[in-house]
Amino acid sequence: MDEFNLIDAFFARHQSRRRDVVIGIGDDGAVVQPAAEHELVIATDTMVEGVHFDSTTPPRALGHKIAAVNISDLAAMGAEPSWLTLALTLPRVDRDWLEEFSAGLFEIADYYHCALVGGDTTRGPLTLTVTAQGQLPKGKAISRGKAKPGDWIYVSGDLGDAGLGLAVSQQRVEVASRHLKRVYDKLHYPMPRVALGQALRGIASACIDVSDGLLADLGQILKQSNCAAQVQIDKLPLSLALTETLEAEDALRYALTSGDDYELCFTLPEQHRGQLETRIAHTAIKPVCIGQVVGGDKGKIRLRDGADEWQFAAAVQPGYNHFNDND
């Protein structure tokens, strides 16, 4: 057993309290007991140094975020997070880095009562992959493909702050010091909308998490649902951090095209609006209606400001993100 195998033992010290974990870290595979009459949801996401983050990103944030982005995928399907596996490729063994990284990972895993049940640690360029498994009652998964013309379009919270945090971290934009913590927290410590995802079971017609930017991600729903949409830019939820930092058009550009917000974007048939209000009445969840699904060119999104058509002065690239840029 080499130094890298020993790291698995390092992660295994943190024992989960989930009673459905029959065998955890330390065998050929983990053994878990799925709930009866439930379906399993599986999501996997990778983050690579120099592509999705850089060497200045705190390791605690990396541990949080690689778990969060996967749990967010489960949330977008309406699932309850259950089990995670971690494939960790490291250039060297650094105890301090591992302490911080694992603290970030376990904080969010514990918050959602989700167990790390296995993994593989290898030597190589810094690469993080988590595979997350969630569960939901049979037939209740929310796909991207069932939005219909007339359905209302919602987002679960402020858009653009993570993109602003990235711009600040890369010294492309300056924010007032009172906004600094918020924009960095949104970039580094996103909180997936798990409770909302579960509240949407059986009522939302489609759902996606906003990882590539609203236009790109809503575009996925529309393409897979064979529909178009109108989005009211005057309804987009924007934080004070965003509106006090950027010119109005730039703020909208961040809200519509920067990624990494991990809010949910979902579509809701008219007849389920009351049901949504009821389900979230006594929670802190405040989704905002930003437009409507319409017929027409598959995937096309028309922007409106009040009753008027609205266009960016300069062309924008949906889903543009410095770290995803392949040029």
For residue 100, the minimal CB distance to a second copy (Å) is 21
Q: From the list 62, 108, 117, 231, which residue makes contact with a second copy (rule: CB under 8 A)?
A: 117
> At its nearest, how many Å lie between a second copy and the CB of residue 47?
8
- Rounded Cα distance between 158 and 231, Å, is 15
Please say which residue, 180 or 195, places its beta carbon nearer to a second copy: 195
| Nearer to a second copy among residue 50 and residue 295 (C-beta) | 50
Cα-Cα-Cα-Cα torsion 161, 166, 171, 176, nearest 10 degrees, comes to: 20
Please answer whether residues 154 and 273 qualify as being in contact, where contact means their C-beta atoms are separated by less than 8 angstroms. Answer: no
Q: Which of residues 37-56 bind a second copy (CB under 8 A)?
A: 38-52
Taking residues 121 to 150 in sequence order and writing x for each that binds a second copy by CB under 8 A, - otherwise, the string is: -xxxx-x-x-xxxx---x--x-xxx-----
Q: Which residues participate in the annotated binding site for ATP?
A: 119-120, 144, 211
Nearest approach in angstroms of CB 6 to a second copy is 11
8 A C-beta contact, residue 57 and residue 188: yes
Restricting to residues 183-222, which ones interact with a second copy according to CB under 8 A? 207-209, 212, 216, 220
Binding residues for substrate: 52, 260, 320
The label of the residue with tokens 């650094």 reads: 94
Binding-site sequence positions: 28, 44-45, 52, 73, 119-120, 144, 209, 211-212, 260, 320
Q: Is 79 in the site for a second copy (CB under 8 A)?
A: yes
How many chain residues interact with a second copy (CB under 8 A)?
71
Nearer to a second copy, 71 or 236 (CB): 71
CB 90 within 8 A of CB 62: no
Sorted by sequence, the CB contacts under 8 Å of residue 248 that are 6+ apart come out as none
Give the C-alpha distances (Å, rounded to integers) separating 276 from 154, 159, 191, 196, 299.
11, 21, 21, 10, 25
Q: For strands 127-137 and 80-90, give the pairing.
A: antiparallel
- Segment near a second copy (CB under 8 A); pick from 68-76, 180-188, 249-257, 274-282: 68-76
Among 47, 79, 35, which residue's Cα sits nearest to residue 211?
Answer: 47
Counting contacts by CB under 8 A, is residue 260 touching a second copy? no
Query: How far apart (Å, rounded) are the C-alpha atoms in residues 202 and 58?
Result: 39
Instruction: Considering the complex, state which of residue 73 and residue 158 has its C-beta at the smaller distance from a second copy.
Output: 73
The answer to whether 310 and 233 are in contact (CB under 8 A) is yes
Q: How far is the CB of 250 from a second copy (least distance, A)?
A: 23
Strand order across the 288-294 sheet: 206-209, 264-268, 152-155, 288-294, 228-232, 301-305, 308-309
Select the residue interacting with a second copy from 9, 23, 176, 248 (CB under 8 A).
23
Q: Does residue 326 bind a second copy (CB under 8 A)?
A: yes
Q: Of 35-43, 160-168, 178-186, 269-277, which part binds a second copy (CB under 8 A)?
A: 35-43
Count other C-beta atoms under 10 Å from residue 284's C-beta.
Answer: 6
Q: How far is the CB of 77 from a second copy (least distance, A)?
A: 5
CB of 309 to a second copy, least distance (A): 25
- How far apart are alpha carbons 147 and 153 in whole angstroms? 9
